Amino acid sequence: MLLPTEKPTPAAASRVAPAVRQAVAEGLLSEDRPLAGFVDVPGVRESVAALHAAFADVPDVLHAFAAKACPLVPVLRLLRDAGMGCEVASPGELWLALDAGFDPARIVLDSPAKTRQEIREALALGVAVNADNLDELERIDALRPAGCASVLGLRVNPQVGAGAIEAMSTATAHSKFGVALRDPGARERVVEAFVRRPWLTRLHGHVGSQGCPLPLIAEGLAALHTLAEEINARVGHRQVTSLDLGGGLPVNFADDTVSPTYADYVAALTAAEPALLDGRYRLVTEFGRSLLAKNGFLAARVEYVKDAGGRRVAVTHAGANVATRTVFMPQAWPLRVSAYGPDGTPKQAALLRQDVAGPCCFSGDVVAHDRALPELAEGDWVVLHDTGAYYFSAPWSYNSLPRPAVYGCLPRDGRVLFATVRPAQTVREISVESGLARADALLTGFAVPSVP
């Protein structure tokens, strides 16, 4: 999918351009620092405020940020300070959330492959746990301590279908997530699981992610509400007291417009099932990408420019190492790119169709194909927009490329202030991470077992 223009709208320019210019002036972007990610701190707070405002009429809701979207402790702490809880999907994410200061009671653990130790640890902490399947409920039966404070739920898959990116859709017929409700006998098994477990009080559903339209998401969550009503009717009282709606609000990557909005999401849920938000059930949301994507960007130096097959190719330091999904699925994950000169100001040169390639040593490492951009030259900068979620915070270590530095941006008194979120990884740290302390392990590290 080719985007009609690579020029940011005035709103994007007013946010990004001053930060790029100031970062170059301060040396945060330089020949020796050719790649960095940036987080717009006021933008993050504004997105959180918009989420809370959209749900203002819902009596009881916990908004839990999906840590996978930006697993950086300073970012998580900013979100906690803005009033968010945290959704985690691994032991690492759980400890990131705890280190960021989240109250365990405001943390939700989701994962399709929890070990017994992960479950035991979460239950001891009082973290909410959504079981992914019926077998996991049996593990919880055995591990749940007396007086356990954790809210416990079960994830179900309403099997309502896929969005535009099937790989990102979690409510397909064959999704690996949750109990597939439309499979023969599955619905009854779910109801019976609740009947046998009075401590099981939450239903969890997550219909999809990028590419899933609001009506599809709303259809799946309305089915979650219907199932909760059915379970409560069977047990004869309100055993299911909360619904975890997941996240998955799509992000508009075509321009700076926020679309759909959280208000649009609430309207779609209300249209599909008015009782879903009436306060009878406590709600949990798990938004990630929609909170962070438009509040971050990547800036990368143009190292070389060449011509190949009649097309200009700009080789930069941002490719599959930070934009893995875009490189491997460019039609599904296109990114806007804009051009800046060596001084960090937007380029005004004539437009030229060119590829923007990355540093990885394989031919497909291209983040933008045949884009109309001001002609790029060595020492210029390219900005990849809408990359605040899943990009610089989840780098790919192919070619042992270092993880880029990440900075928070705060406009103040006509300039931009920066705070280091994560320093750039050094080549020495790469070597240490890659087993330096055990360099001779395969030569001398094999112990001969003793014979009894």
Residue 175's CATH number? 3.20.20.10
Decide if 89 is inside a domain. Answer: no
What is the CATH classification number for the domain harbouring 305? 2.40.37.10
User: Same structural domain for residues 260 and 364?
Assistant: no
Higher pLDDT, 217 or 54: 54
Asked whether the beta carbons of 82 and 48 are under 8 A apart, the reply is yes
User: Same structural domain for residues 303 and 254?
Assistant: no
Decide if 450 is inside a domain. Answer: no
User: Same structural domain for residues 162 and 263?
Assistant: yes
User: Same structural domain for residues 244 and 300?
Assistant: no
* Nearest alpha-carbon partner for 333 in 380, 297, 386, 296: 386
Structure confidence at residue 227 (pLDDT): 96
- Give the contacts of 132 (CB within 8 A, at least 6 positions apart): 110, 111, 112, 113, 114, 155, 177, 178
pLDDT at 176 over 60: yes
User: Same structural domain for residues 337 and 243?
Assistant: no
Dump pLDDT digits (tens) for 101-140: 999 999 999 999 999 999 999 999 999 999 999 999 999 9
Decide if 57 is inside a domain. Answer: no
User: Same structural domain for residues 117 and 205?
Assistant: yes
Please tell me which residue in 86, 148, 360, 361 is annotated as part of the active site: 361
Structure confidence at residue 164 (pLDDT): 56
Q: With the C-alpha atoms ordered 79, 82, 88, 94, is the resulting torsion angle positive or negative?
A: positive
Higher pLDDT, 7 or 172: 172
**Measured between alpha carbons, how far is 155 from 158 in angstroms, rounded to an integer?**
10
Q: Would residue 212 show up in a list of annotated catalytic residues for this protein?
A: no
User: Same structural domain for residues 225 and 350?
Assistant: no
**Measured between alpha carbons, how far is 341 from 349 in angstroms, rounded to an integer?**
10
Decide if 214 is inside a domain. Answer: yes
Structure confidence at residue 160 (pLDDT): 65
Decide if 193 is inside a domain. Answer: yes
Dump pLDDT digits (tens) for 344-399: 999 998 999 999 999 999 999 999 999 999 999 999 999 999 999 999 988 999 99
User: Same structural domain for residues 261 and 329?
Assistant: no
Decide if 1 is inside a domain. Answer: no
Q: Give the SS3 label for residue 413.
A: coil
pTM: 0.93
User: Same structural domain for residues 16 and 129?
Assistant: no
Range(s) of the domain holding residue 359: 10-39+293-433
Q: What number of CA atoms fall less than 13 Å from residue 240's CA on the CB side? A: 26
The tokens for 435 are 């087993």
**Measured between alpha carbons, how far is 176 from 319 in angstroms, rounded to an integer?**
29
Decide if 300 is inside a domain. Answer: yes
User: Same structural domain for residues 143 and 265?
Assistant: yes
User: Same structural domain for residues 111 and 218?
Assistant: yes
Structure confidence at residue 351 (pLDDT): 96
Give me the residue label for tokens 């249209």. Answer: 271
Structure confidence at residue 220 (pLDDT): 87
Q: How many domains does the chain have?
A: 2
Mean pLDDT of the chain: 92
Decide if 387 is inside a domain. Answer: yes
Domain boundary among 267, 287, 307: 287
Average pLDDT (14-29) is 95
Domain boundary among 265, 287, 309: 287
User: Same structural domain for residues 153 and 232?
Assistant: yes
Measured torsion, CA atoms of residues 165, 326, 346, 72, in degrees rounded to the nearest 10: 100
Domain boundary among 245, 272, 287: 287
